[in-house]
Every structure is written in C-alpha cells, then in structure tokens.
C-alpha cells in the first residue's frame, strides 16, 4: 500500500524533474523502448521535433505512476511537461504537433 508520505515525496521529485528539465516526459517504458503505443507516439513526435528531453518510466516505480496522475490531475500516461507546465497526454500532444503549436511550445 502506498502511503501519503510516499506520494508527497514522489511529488517533490516530480517538481524537481520538471524544474530541472525543460522538456520532461513521464511514460511507459523508455525513449529507446516505449512499452505502449501512446508513449511510442509521443516519443516519435518529440524525436521528430528534434528537442532534447528527459523521460521517466512509470512502469519501474508504482509510487511514481500514482503520484504523477495526482500531481497533474490527469488519469493517463504518457504526460508531457514543458518549462514546468503540464502540456497533456498523447491525444493533446498529437493535435498540437499536427497544428504546429507544439513546435512553438518547445521553442
């Protein structure tokens, strides 16, 4: 069972991650081997955009997996943060990429 203390500590780590990294992706799997189609799609978009980004695998850390959903108040993975701001999940990232708005956000 995950405690509130564990969740709060993990949320502090998330704050630290999104502060230190301009582009931060929480995903299933890693950049080299996404473990779900949605994470794969977002990795593909970020790679196509040529942006430098960090990623964390929520499948390796059950506390992180729960904490990121509470942190963003968003129920699904992947989740993308740019300049400390939650951008969205796969559908939103795909729409932003197709419209060209993602490239502006990443610039």
Q: Which CATH code, of 3.30.300.30, 3.30.1490.20, 3.40.30.10, 2.40.50.140, is assigned to 4-106?
A: 3.40.30.10
Identify the sign of the CA torsion 4, 56, 65, 61. Answer: negative
Could you tell me how far CA 77 lies from the centroid of its own chain? 7
Pairing relationship of beta strands 79-82 and 23-27 according to DSSP bridges: antiparallel
Q: φ and ψ at 25, to 5 degrees?
A: -120, 125
Give the global pTM: 0.96
Q: Is 22 left (phi over 0), alpha (psi -120 to 50) or beta?
A: alpha
pLDDT digits (tens, 9 = 90+) for 14-73: 999 999 999 999 999 999 999 999 999 999 999 999 999 999 999 999 999 999 999 999
pLDDT digits (tens, 9 = 90+) for 71-91: 999 999 999 999 999 999 999
Q: Give the CB-side neighbour count of residue 83, counting CA atoms within 13 A.
A: 5
Would you kindly state where each structural domain of the chain is located, as residue ranges? 4-106
């Amino acid at each position: 069972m995950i405690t509130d203390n564990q969740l709060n500590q993990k949320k502090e780590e998330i704050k630290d991650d999104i502060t230190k990294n301009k582009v931060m992706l929480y995903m299933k799997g890693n950049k080299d081997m996404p473990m779900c189609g949605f994470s794969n799609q977002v990795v593909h978009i970020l790679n196509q955009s040529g942006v430098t980004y960090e990623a964390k695998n929520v499948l390796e850390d059950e506390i992180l997996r729960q904490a990121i959903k509470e942190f963003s108040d968003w129920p699904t993975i992947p989740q993308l943060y740019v300049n400390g701001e939650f951008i969205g999940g796969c559908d939103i990232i795909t729409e932003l990429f197709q419209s060209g708005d993602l490239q502006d956000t990443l610039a």
